[in-house]
Structure 1
């Protein structure tokens, strides 16, 4: 005789760390199939989640429970999705490290980079950095915790469209096929396709580097330079992404896939992209500090430009879009002059990586 409790398989609990725009979207997607627990640092946000089924005004599935305890979510959930901005990523991972074990499976959705510098050093003080001093988010997880099964989620995934259940797709990347299959099983639906890729570093870098090009695309739109110029920028941006990804340990196939060119086209054409918005507002005369202070969430491309510019100081490589955007953002270079130069560069070669 089958007992009442065993007649139906018990749903497992999936954890989501972070309740920003993307974190709440992923939590809602996961809740379509399983119980979900989300971590928020602020107690008032946890109270809102558990009493009003919303997080900072964003609607959440009633099946989602909130907690401010890293210990509780790690004990309840074997699979965790880290949806934290890059600026706070390392600190959050360090706070979770005592509660994470090799049996945990962690998939992050952060499109940014961290620095692996000596104590007391900053990007401003070192100026030049090598690849060994740059960490992708998966490398942060592996360095700071005992977790082995790590993956990342990347692709053209604008939170606003995902909230509206519009058709979309993403990539789960990992060295472990088990991680890819688990991510696909948890997230795939009729309107959300999930592809797999074993090149986790290449997929992470693609999601990071496209943010640089998105800032340039926003500036181009802000100056009303037209669709032909946008096509030129996107194609040159893809070439720059390929060379930078190769130099940092990624493959060409990831850049020309969904997490690379797919995400690049989306963010270079969307007013919902935070990085596009930064470029657009710069082109309209606003200062970077004012723009960033008025934004609810981080535009990852700004920090990425600083990191890649410092890396270029030690690499035998040119990345003109990154270099000129750095001058615009941090050295008061005129954005119109920068874009005029980029529209002409290079002077004779189209594609040089195949």
Structure 2
């Protein structure tokens, strides 16, 4: 049976089939026919023949293709679930086949560089907001799609795959995108909230990864819940200041996509970013950790980009700044912690 004829109704597309992409595809398959896109023909064959993706179980009705045109013609709503490092390239690949009537709801928690010709991350000393794109901005820059949304929240892929209770936020400037995301994803064990502040929701998912790395480092040092509570609360303040400077709303940061996701990833060994921090505190090098991970820990690149963004502002972000030293300047985790404990915070909350 050809994919075009798989259902009388329009199918729903998922672009990328990593752990989160697989979990979202399975959730969507509870209500809709689903087609996933993967570049690797072996992965596509595995999905179509064995109903697994790199060993992860998929609903048997899910089908796969390597053809972007087929996916765009078969589906009006697409869910890009790919790492930030490959996001712009994949959107460029899909761009010729996308139309203004398409809905794109991404689930990527990262940033993409937007630099003038000749400039790279290695030869710039500061980044301004216009040099950093969220994934919704990449979609709008690279395609003709207008109705863009994002998914963010405490959504650990392994727990979603186990059908444990969870919730997410669908954010978009367009109510019809929010309603479509809710219609397609909401189920007995999965609640879907809406938010019109897409930039704030995207930045919540991006910036909390920084704090998750730091939380893993605390755990790797054997520190307790008092230290973690201190980190999460001060990390939340830092996230809000950074997020507001980049165009987000405080209300989004204190919601499910902000504090909800931060609490989850700062307490879970299932989080890739938490794992990076934990292993750093155990004495492993960043290169060794990255080479050993199956999927990207987006927080590593985020720390580097936000550190350069700080150079164009008068903001101070001590957790981010010290974590940058740990990740990229051979700073000891213990030394960074001592510095943070001596940082002259005088007021608890001063952003309300």
Post-superposition CA distance 1:11-33 (Å, at most 9, x none): 43000000000000000110110
1:94 aligned partner: 92
SS at 2:34 equivalent: strand
| CA 174–346 in structure 1, closer or farther in 2 if over 3 Å, else same | farther
Q: C-alpha separation between the residues in 2 aligned to 1:262 and 1:344?
A: 28
Q: C-alpha separation between the residues in 2 aligned to 1:82 and 1:343?
A: 40
Matches within 5 A, 1:222-233: 222-233=220-231
Match of 2:193 among 189, 192, 195: 195
Q: C-alpha separation between the residues in 2 aligned to 1:238 and 1:137?
A: 22
2:347 aligned partner: 349
CA-CA distance at 1:10 after TM superposition: 4.1
Post-superposition CA distance 1:224-244 (Å, at most 9, x none): 111000000000000000000
Runs of 4+ in 1 over 4 A off after TM superposition: none
Check the 8 A contact 1:31/1:61 in 2, yes or no.
yes
Q: Does 1:294 align with 2:292?
A: yes
Check the 8 A contact 1:232/1:343 in 2, yes or no.
no
1:324 aligned partner: 322
Post-superposition CA distance 1:271-297 (Å, at most 9, x none): 000000000000000000000000000
CA-CA distance at 1:340 after TM superposition: 2.0
CA-CA distance at 1:40 after TM superposition: 0.3
Q: Does 1:306 align with 2:304?
A: yes
Output the TM-score relative to the length of structure 2.
Answer: 0.97
Give the total of aligned pairs: 346
Post-superposition CA distance 1:145-169 (Å, at most 9, x none): 0000000000000001111110000
Output the TM-score relative to the length of structure 1.
Answer: 0.96
SS at 1:120 equivalent: coil
2:4 aligned partner: none
Q: Which runs of 5+ in 1 are unaligned?
A: 1-8
2:3 aligned partner: none
Check the 8 A contact 1:67/1:73 in 2, yes or no.
yes
SS at 2:36 equivalent: strand
For the aligned residue pairs, the C-alpha RMSD in angstroms reads 0.9
Q: Which runs of 5+ in 2 are unaligned?
A: 1-6
Match of 1:270 among 258, 268, 280: 268
Post-superposition CA distance 1:55-84 (Å, at most 9, x none): 111111111110001001001000000000
Check the 8 A contact 1:233/1:343 in 2, yes or no.
no
Post-superposition CA distance 1:94-139 (Å, at most 9, x none): 1110110001000000000001012332111112110011100000
1:212 aligned partner: 210
Q: C-alpha separation between the residues in 2 aligned to 1:261 and 1:231?
A: 12
1:23 aligned partner: 21
Matches within 5 A, 1:59-138: 59-138=57-136
